[in-house]
A and B are shown apart, each in its own frame.
Chain A
Amino acid sequence: MSSEPRPVVTDSGIPLDPIYDATSVADDLAGRLGRPGEPPFTRGPYQTMYRERLWSMRQYAGYGSADDTNARFRYLLDQGQTALSVAFDLPTQLGYDSDDELVLSEVGRVGVAIDSVEDMEAVFAGLPIDQLSVNFTINGTAPIILAFYLVAAERQGADLAQVAGTLQNDILKEFLARKTFIFPPDHSIRLVADVVEYCSEHLPRFNGISITGYHAREAGCDAVQEIGLTMASAIAYTEAFLARGLDFDAFAPRLSFHFSSQLDLFEEASKVRAARRMWSSLALERFGAKKETSARLRFFSGCSGATLTAQQPLNNVVRSTLQCLAAVLGGAQSIHVMGYDEALEIPTEESVRLALRTQQIIAHESGVAKVIDPLAGSYFVEHLTDEIEERAWELVRRVEDGGGLVELLAQGVPQRWVAESAYRYEQEVRSGERVKVGVNRYVDDDGVVPPLFEVDGASAARQRERLAGRLAERDGDAVAAALATLRTALVDGTNSMPHIMQAGRVGATLGEIADTMRAVFGVYREPQPW
């Protein structure tokens, strides 16, 4: 035994006292809490929260061809899932068609392959778009995917004013962490703004961007950095939208957020309470919101794939349960729970169903959804919420002093913060300071592996055949004309969305539209970390 007791800290390194009492909590607790549905929104974005409506159970899904994904969606809806979340394959995320020679082995691999509007129609075949809420995990090609979805909705006869859902569309976090960017930052942000402007004019039920801390967290940063960097992103986007002449209260109510939910239960719940307070203060004090809904932070919570272990994979069921619980205690609007096998492969139908059942058991059996913000007034939670908020503001100030997030990303600075945190985490696992059950404590080497998902090798070939069929049928002159018009809009700076939709309508592919953008904007290569 060591003679010096190690300090006890949260996952983010916040030191913890052994016990908290009334002296641990800020004086104006009532003011800092407010009421649910009212600024500063510490207790939740809505007055009634889960009493009136549970969070959306939104399992992330998609693989293979459009037909494969359609089948998985029908399965999930049959099992009681209440909203959809589409995963796209890497070629689709990066603007390549399924027949591009750069990408042959990646078609349909980590998500569905979308080459054309017809693929999007097939994904939603038999699923009424005007009655669904769909999340699209897409960024570099977000305007194209939204345009294809809207054309598919038109073809179903849907009213665009009824189209609901969320487009991830956060390109800054791609430069920061996830790295599926295509174009340089300034052009990328312009495309984000095209979408947000289009949504605020035509899609009143649709969130045109989901400002995301999730990926930086998964890439290694801690909870405080996650919140601080997300707020720095929110500032950068808001300033870009305002610079374009958009009215804050026209777009702010439809801004959505996306956080990770990891294992330090109280820190995770406190983190999102702090985030709601921070956005409320930014919106009302810095950006002069006139509507209260502009200051209301709503978020999707993804449980954490990075915390799951390949060793003893069934333990991940327990980890995911705690993460889902943390998201519920924090007041999430929408939650995804990971499959226990995701450290090994994309999840099987069985593990996806268990992940959904985890949400349902927490919702209907645990009792935690019966009251709003059940942790409020806990000396510990209120102290932690204040502490996280203060530390996250400090990071926001650091980013602003460095010239803002876009400038720092160009220098590779926040990318380094994230990589250094990831390395620190691994060193703590290595030293045993951070306990990972089954990895550095309670290890057994029985090598038991659950049955894993098998990718259908023929699915990519089917997708390419389907694309070849589309290319043969379409009117090439109409496609060329639509792409030329789009090119002009991209150069002129007029909103590109209607032109992308028109290109999709006449049969232009995702790769062709992305190539048109690449020709105008160029492509981005990131600065090297060392």
Chain B
Amino acid sequence: MSTGVRPRPRVVLAKPGLDGHDRGVKVVGMALRDAGAEVVYLGLQQTAAQIARAAAAEDADVIGLSVLSGVHVDVARQVLAACAGEDLGDVPLVVGGTIPPADVIRLRDLGVRDVFPVGTPLDDLVARIFAIAATEEEVPDEQ
């Protein structure tokens, strides 16, 4: 468990399922890195179990999934279950990609912390991921 706000939040990004379109996840990774985050990109075709194990090994502050093939709801459900299995249930999960508005609500109801459909302004996305990483820490940083 972390003991304070990390100066650099650690974000684990992955593309679950079989979709190969990785423009979005790479742009997000570069934007987060430029904003000061540590970014671990797991690459393509990651299974839920692989993502959960990597998030545990990397001590992730946030897990981000990028899905453009329409299977975001199934995949988010699987990753949340795998994280719970790894005792990682409290690591916030965010999902981005081609996501219709109705599914944003479905994802949030499942327990996904934030959703970034196509068209989310990049600054907005980075700020929201940093905010999520900060609020996840057990003990706030002493100023």
Residue numbers of A with Cβ under 8 A of B are 90-91, 93-94, 96, 102-103, 105-106, 109-110, 174, 178-180, 218-220, 306, 309-311, 343-346, 418-419, 422-423, 426-427, 429-430, 439-440, 447, 449, 452, 455, 525-526, 528-530
Contacts and interface: CB of A to CB of B under 8 A. Distances in A.
Contacts of A440: 121
A526 B43 CA distance: 8
Contacts, number: 99
B27 A93 contact: no
A353 to B, nearest CB: 20
| 9 nearest A-B residue pairs (beta carbon) | A179-B20, A90-B18, A105-B74, A310-B119, A419-B26, A105-B71, A423-B30, A310-B118, A219-B23
A439 B118 CA distance: 11
Contact of A109 (B22, B39, B41, B70): B70
B21 interface: yes
A345 B100 contact: yes
B70 A178 contact: no
Interface of B: 17-23, 26-27, 29-31, 33, 39, 41, 43-44, 47, 69-71, 74-75, 98, 100-101, 117-119, 121-123
Contacts of B20: 174, 178-180
B41 A528 contact: yes
B69 A343 contact: no
A341 B91 CA distance: 33
Interface of A is mostly: loop
Nearest to A107: B71
Given A180-B20, A423-B27, A423-B31, A525 B43 contact: yes
A345 B43 contact: no
B21 A219 contact: yes
Contacts of A452: 100
Contact of A344 (B18, B23, B41, B98): B98
B26 A529 contact: yes
Nearest to A91: B18
Contacts of B75: 105
Given A218-B23, A309-B119, A343-B98, 12 more contacts: A105-B71, A105-B75, A110-B19, A180-B18, A219-B21, A311-B119, A343-B119, A344-B101, A422-B27, A449-B101, A528-B41, A529-B26
Given A106-B17, A109-B71, A306 B23 contact: yes
Nearest to A181: B20
B98 to A, nearest CB: 7
Contact of B18 (A103, A174, A218, A311): A103
Given A180-B20, A423-B30, A449 B100 contact: yes
Contacts of B41: 528-530
B30 A419 contact: yes
B44 A526 contact: yes
A174 B44 CA distance: 13
B122 A430 contact: yes
Contacts of A430: 121-123
A93 B69 CA distance: 13
A468 to B, nearest CB: 22
B120 to A, nearest CB: 9
A7 to B, nearest CB: 24
A105 B17 contact: yes
A339 B140 CA distance: 48
14 contacts: A90-B18, A93-B18, A94-B18, A102-B18, A105-B71, A220-B23, A343-B98, A345-B70, A419-B30, A422-B23, A449-B101, A528-B41, A529-B29, A530-B29
Nearest to A523: B45
A509 B122 CA distance: 43
A309 B101 CA distance: 14
B99 to A, nearest CB: 8
A343 B18 CA distance: 19
A525 B45 CA distance: 10
A451 B26 CA distance: 30
A423 B27 CA distance: 5
Contacts of A525: 43
Nearest to A525: B43
B64 to A, nearest CB: 15
A179 B46 CA distance: 13
Contacts of A90: 17-19, 69
Contacts of A220: 23, 27
B7 to A, nearest CB: 19
B23 A109 contact: no
A445 to B, nearest CB: 12
Contacts of A422: 23, 26-27
Contact of B27 (A105, A180, A345, A426): A426
A109 B17 CA distance: 12
A167 to B, nearest CB: 19
A528 B40 CA distance: 10
A463 B81 CA distance: 27
Nearest to B99: A344
A447 B101 contact: yes
Contacts of A103: 17-18
B43 A344 contact: no
Contacts of B71: 105-106, 109
Given A109-B70, A179-B20, A343 B29 contact: no
Contacts of A180: 18, 20
Contacts of B69: 90, 106, 109-110
B104 to A, nearest CB: 11
Contacts of A429: 122
A238 to B, nearest CB: 26
Nearest to A90: B18
A421 to B, nearest CB: 10
Given A110-B69, A526-B43, A426 B122 contact: yes
Nearest to A180: B20
Contacts of B27: 220, 419, 422-423, 426
A346 B117 CA distance: 15
Contacts of B44: 179, 526
